[in-house]
Amino acid sequence: MLDRIKLKFGSWVGENPLDLNVTPITVFVGPNNSGKSKVLKEIQQFCREGNLDARNVIIDEAILKSIEQGRFEEKLAHFTKEPNEHESVSEGSLIVGNYNERIQIEKSSLFQSISQNNTDYFRQLFCQWFLKFNTLLLDGQGRMQLVREQQGGNLQSPPENSLSALFRDDEKRREVRRIVHDAFNLHFVIDPTDLGKLKVRLSESAPASEMEERGVHSEAVQFHSRAKKIDELSDGVKAFTGIVLELVAGDPMVLLVDEPEAFLHPSLSYKLGKEVSVTAASQNKNIFVSTHSSNFIMGCVQSGVPINIVRLTYSQGDATARLLPNDNLLKLMRNPLLRSTSVVDGLFYEAVIVTESDADRAFYQEINDRLLKYSPDNGISSCLFINAQNKQTVHQIIKPLRELGIPAAAIVDVDILKEGGQVWSNFLSSGFIPQISQTPLGSIRQSIKQKFTDESIDMKRDGGISALPAEEKEAAQNLLQQLADYGLFVVPDGELESWLKPLEASGHGPKWLVEIFEKMGENPESSTYVKPTSGDVWAFLSLIKQWAMTSSRKGIPTKI
């Protein structure tokens, strides 16, 4: 139905707005309050009215696909309704609608609108007379209602709801049964034995025949009595089944789903993403989804169906929209190191901080949590902390995240200055430092490293760059500042254990972490509980926030 959607903004402040060619499924991701749910509502409003509200904040323009009259008549026949009892239809008119809404329109006027494709006249008539009846928005509660018992209606009249339509269509019911069985190892059936009402049940065994499911004879009654009422099952089962039921039986041309992962186990989110994508492609539907689930995205991407994944952000009055390449996402999902560190979850945060080890990650995350609570101007909200295996692998996480437009900062110990060759080159390249700048930075690094050696200074344990003579110390500070400008942060006084020295924690790595956490305290009411002060690690995290939250930050490619 939809051909293109143009947004009001692009991948970077000042970049051209994102002009999106609509694929069978489009997934919107991003941090909270970035506009994911809002964009679904704006698409729904266009599909129902044929024009865009001047108050829209995300969508600037929407274009419908060209429609051949023959194909349109074929689809229109599916949505044409028989007149109700005592309802008259004017000559040359027809009734269109869905289970909840219906109107009587003049057929010639509808076909005339098709001949004027994508004029204002066409869009308004086509949407108000046709597309609005074929557009469905499902939120968290809406999908739960879909599996409740519904009236069976008169089987000699058109179906009055999705469940009634599914009850009459053996092929579609088998498709729903296949998907639900694959998810729960239970068989979806519709129970008509409470005469006049249709109820969804899940059975441990499949019905022996269509009659055993659809009949009201004793064998059918016994079969349904053994099956479980869906009302008695979990919200996850009801939510998953409701979406599948409406997708197959409701047959909307445009389906909008807000947070489909709600109530679902991660494995179910993956299955749903895959099934929704395949169905959208096979039935020529447009499906738009807002999600916080990396598993749902993985299911969509690995389905092999053409898919758009758009990351929205909104921070400090600046909005961005970036189309994420599927190949880059597949790289994140298939790489064992990246998959094990939940890197894909970075899509749903405003910023990501990558550390060398798990101990580093736990410490900096605790520091940030205390900043957010007691000094919120200096803490980083909506921030994901993840760790690499060592400083040599930090770049493998930083670079692909930045290619997706995600502000991913690195924190490494000062001994990164020891590393030359490929390790140093990878580190600079992951920060997207211009190639022409990397050679002089390498020369400065080498000179500083040599001074540590000449002075017999252990850079990690003897105080880092503060132990250098004045001139070399200034040069090292300048080098670290240039790295920080690109989101590459080096611990200036050595290593993780150089922070919060007055607490006198001993040991290294996990042993130091346990002791420093004990000395920092766990009870905020205690006089010994450590709260943010000026300087030290608190100031270090504040610098990272300044880089991550500034729209003009360096180190994020505007285009891939």
Q: Where are the domains of the chain?
A: 2-138+259-324, 147-238, 339-548
C-beta separation of 300 from 277 below 8 A: yes
Which residue is listed with tokens 């979806």? 188
Rounded CA separation 278/208 (Å): 28
The amino acid that residue 219 corresponds to is E
What's the pLDDT at 107? 80
What's the pLDDT at 440? 95
Rounded CA separation 255/493 (Å): 55
Sign of the Cα pseudo-torsion (422, 428, 429, 435, in order): negative
Q: What is the DSSP string of 147-170?
A: TS-EE---TTS--SSHHHHHHH-H
Q: What b/e sequence results for 22-56 when a residue is b if at least 16 CB atoms lie within 10 Å of its CB, and e otherwise?
A: bbbbbbbbbbeebbbbbbbbbbbbbbbebebeeeb
Pairing of strands 408-412, 488-490: parallel
532 Cβ partners below 8 Å, 6+ apart? 370, 371, 374, 375, 378, 538
Classified as helix, coil or strand, 240 is helix
Which residue is listed with tokens 């058109």? 158
C-beta separation of 144 from 238 below 8 A: yes
198 Cβ partners below 8 Å, 6+ apart? 149, 150, 151, 152, 163, 164, 167, 190, 191, 192
What's the pLDDT at 339? 66
Rounded CA separation 484/457 (Å): 24
Phi and psi, residue 368, nearest 5°: -65, -40
C-beta separation of 321 from 311 below 8 A: yes
C-beta separation of 17 from 7 below 8 A: yes
Best CA proximity match to 263, nearest among 251, 272, 255, 254:
272
C-beta separation of 460 from 413 below 8 A: yes
**H, E, C per residue of 470-504:** HHHHHHHHHHHHHHHHCCEEECCCCCHHHCCHHHC
Cα separations (Å) of 122 from 5, 29, 175, 245? 17, 32, 35, 32
Give me the residues of the chain with pLDDT under 50, please.
none
Q: What is the pTM of this model?
A: 0.86
What's the pLDDT at 58? 95
What's the pLDDT at 69? 65
Rounded CA separation 252/168 (Å): 18
